[in-house]
Structure 1
């Protein structure tokens, strides 16, 4: 019977009182995920110094061509005649839609086309 009070006295110490809590561990994991490696910092700085638009807007593997809008179709879709004479369907990109850029018949536009389907494209820029 004399050993029971000793166990009750030691209980908080043996039940993990000195271990880190799950909240502390989660906080340290979040801080580790937020920390930016030096290589990534250099990448951000180099991109900011270069100031080129192609890094942000051009997608990998897309063919970028110029053309002229010849017909307006429903749902922000247009028929575009490319410089080589080919006619494709093109829809407005999200950047142009977000900024309310008006594309009218006769406007010169820059179109991105996928190498897999050369009959459809995305209007990414309205030229002057």
Structure 2
């Protein structure tokens, strides 16, 4: 699915993740607390990825959702060739830039690849 660089892009991306998970019943085997935590984690990660793409890219971005075994696959592509960077939390006075640290804390796997048109960031989350 494609998103334009607008303030509501994150909202639409979160809605897409929520619908993907619900339509496939991916969290039905969890109790209510585990399901809520897994959904919130997925929503947090997609928020971070889409926010970053909106901040650094010039054109619309593309998001792909899927399953890789029992993991949620989230991929965001944009036209920025900037390399995702981990920012240390002890850098006082900095606003933002901590999204990758959040993703690393909750993901089973993440990667990025530079492409002809920009980059592709991929995250696998446990369900």
Q: Normalising by the residue count of structure 1, what TM-score does the alignment of the two structures yield?
A: 0.23
Q: Name which structure has the greater RCO, CA cutoff 8 Å, separation 6+.
A: 2
Q: Which has the larger radius of gyration?
A: 1
Q: Normalising by the residue count of structure 2, what TM-score does the alignment of the two structures yield?
A: 0.23
